[in-house]
Amino acid sequence: MIDRPYTCTDPQAVQRCESMLLAYDDHMAAFTALDPDFNATFRNDWRAAIDACIAYPTDESTLDLQKGHGQVIDRCMEQCRMALADLRYYAKKAYSTKGRYRVFGFERHNRLRGSTANYAVFMHTQHRLALRFQPDLAAKGMTPAQTDALLTSATALWDAEVGQETFKRERILHTVERSEAFRHLWSFVQRLQHAADAVFENDAVGRGLFVG
């Protein structure tokens, strides 16, 4: 939640600034007569602040990006399951279900599915074990490409998990920066509203362009 100095939505705040900027252009001389700081530089700085806020991604687009990271992880998980199914098939073919077969720890598969990071570690371990027992597995028909798929799918899953976690941290920073940008934007409004009481002391219509 962004800490806002206003009660309207962010798009409404931008729209309010756009309309007030147009009114300021029409009445700049009156504000400058009151305070020389209300000049073209003030106007250009405000315009830049408006443009900066417009450029920030919306909450909806940010959520879409987050969903995109989740979809990448889902695809990587599916690739891992396919690679693991090949290894399970040939390990069982080579060792039945006893002895060396137990080294692969296939029974841990379902317990690890709730943690992407742990699942990626599990898949990296499966790749090492496949290399360790490669002669026996190859003798039963497991190809080098199937062994490599254990590593490539594990690496892709790990990278996707790190990407998602990085996005979550950056989203916190994005929220802070967006809050600062919109607070800065509204500071121009607050300064004008304060000055408008003096500039339009006897002009309710003019004051209404900036206050309320």
Average pLDDT over all residues of the chain = 91
Among residues of the chain, what percentage have pLDDT more than 90? 70
Strands (E), 72-124: none
Confidence of residue 30 (pLDDT cuts 50, 70, 90): very high
Q: What is the pLDDT of residue 98?
A: 76
Average pLDDT of span 150-170? 93
Specify burial of residue 126 (Cβ count, 10 A radius: 0-12, 13-18, 19+): buried
Residue among 60, 63, 47 nearest 185 (CA):
47
- What is the tens place of the pLDDT at every residue in 52-94? 999 987 777 777 788 888 899 999 999 999 999 999 999 999 9
Can you give the pLDDT at residue 113? 74
Query: What is the structure's pLDDT at 89?
Result: 96
Instruction: Please answer whether residues 108 and 61 qualify as being in contact, where contact means their C-beta atoms are separated by less than 8 angstroms.
Output: no
Q: How far apart are CA 93 and CA 95, in angstroms?
A: 6
Return the DSSP state at 192.
H
Burial of 97: CB neighbours in 10 Å, binned 0-12, 13-18, 19+: exposed
Other residues' Cβ atoms within 10 Å of the Cβ of residue 211: 16
> Which residue, among 160, 127, 161, has the nearest Cα to 144 in the 3D structure?
127
Q: In this predicted structure, what is the pLDDT of residue 2?
A: 55
Q: Average pLDDT in the 15-26 region?
A: 95
CB atoms within 10 A of CB 8: 11
Higher-scoring residue by pLDDT: 174, 101: 101
Place of tokens 């450029």: 55
Residue 29 one-letter amino acid? A
- pLDDT of amino acid 69: 87
Tell me: pLDDT of 1 over 70. Answer: no
Dist. CA 116–CA 118, nearest whole Å: 6
Instruction: Give residue 184's pLDDT.
Output: 95
